[in-house]
């Protein structure tokens, strides 16, 4: 388990799947904003669920987010599109509705950075999000991600095109930021 200030990231448990499916996937409007693939109905318990427990793969690391204060399931986090040749990956975070707006996302992104840079030895992490997703932009920025550009009308969301923002963070930038955060006065 990887532990931050307010949350921990752990392997997905079977008990997590139905909760994540109901609160994150079955909310069509929210899921359509979080995934570039079109929403489609997936029955509970299906192996096709994005939350299904499976063996580890080389190109993704999927975690369940647990709030430390009460050990409850708060959402999911992942590194996806892991490219071992270029040592890059993409960051993804989705919190259950009752856990949003509490500052947990910033802690989740920070833990994903630790995992990507320190545990996996990656050299670059990237986050793509809709331009109006202030929470994700704020969480990524708090971890040191910087805006790298806007992909105009790149996402089909709710019947219209929306802009996406690309944010990036290099390992040496993150380590430098960590040094500044942990330096004593």
Angle between helices 104-113 and 134-142 (to 10 degrees): 50
CB 8 within 8 A of CB 68: yes
The answer, yes or no, to whether residue 183 has pLDDT greater than 90, is no
pLDDT digits (tens, 9 = 90+) for 77-127: 999 999 999 999 999 999 999 999 999 999 999 999 999 999 999 999 999
Q: Residue 182: pLDDT above 70?
A: no
Identify the pLDDT of residue 185: 44
Helix, strand, or coil (residue 29): helix
Mean pLDDT of the 59-78 span: 97
Q: What does the alpha-carbon distance between residue 73 and residue 71 come to, in Å, rounded to a whole number?
A: 7
The answer to whether 39 and 32 have CB atoms below 8 angstroms apart is: yes
CATH number for the domain harbouring residue 87 = 3.40.630.30
Domain count along the chain: 1
Question: Residue 29 has which token pair?
Answer: 């409007």
- Write the pLDDT tens digit of every residue in 19-62: 999 999 998 988 888 888 888 999 878 888 888 898 889 999 99
pLDDT at 149 over 50: yes
Beta bridge partners of 61: 79
Confidence of residue 171 (pLDDT cuts 50, 70, 90): very high
pLDDT band at 176 (very low <50, low <70, confident <90, very high): confident
- What 3 state SS string does 35-89 have? CCCCCCCCCCCCCCCCCCCCCCECCEEEEEEEECCCCEEEEEEEEEEEECCCCEE
Q: Which domain holds residue 140?
A: 2-182
pLDDT of residue 179: 62
Whole-number Å distance between alpha carbons of 62 and 82: 11
Q: What's the N-to-C CA distance of the chain in angstroms?
A: 30
């Amino acid at each position: 388990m990887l532990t931050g200030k307010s949350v921990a990231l752990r392997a997905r448990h079977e008990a997590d799947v139905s909760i994540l499916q109901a609160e994150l996937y079955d909310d069509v409007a929210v899921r359509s904003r979080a995934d570039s693939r079109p929403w489609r109905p997936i029955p509970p318990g299906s192996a096709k669920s994005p939350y299904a427990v499976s063996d580890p793969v080389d190109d993704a690391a999927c975690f369940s987010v647990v709030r430390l204060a009460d050990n409850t399931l708060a959402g999911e986090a992942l590194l996806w599109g892991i490219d071992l040749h270029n040592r890059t990956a993409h960051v993804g975070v989705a919190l259950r509705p009752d856990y949003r707006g509490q500052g947990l996302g910033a802690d989740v992104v920070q833990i994903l950075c630790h995992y990507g840079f320190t545990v996996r030895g990656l050299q670059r992490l990237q986050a793509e999000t809709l331009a109006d997703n202030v929470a994700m932009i704020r969480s990524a920025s708090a971890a040191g991600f910087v805006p790298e550009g806007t992909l105009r009308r790149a996402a089909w969301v709710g019947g219209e095109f929306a802009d996406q923002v690309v944010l990036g963070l290099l390992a040496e930038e993150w380590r430098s930021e960590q040094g500044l955060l942990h330096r004593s006065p």
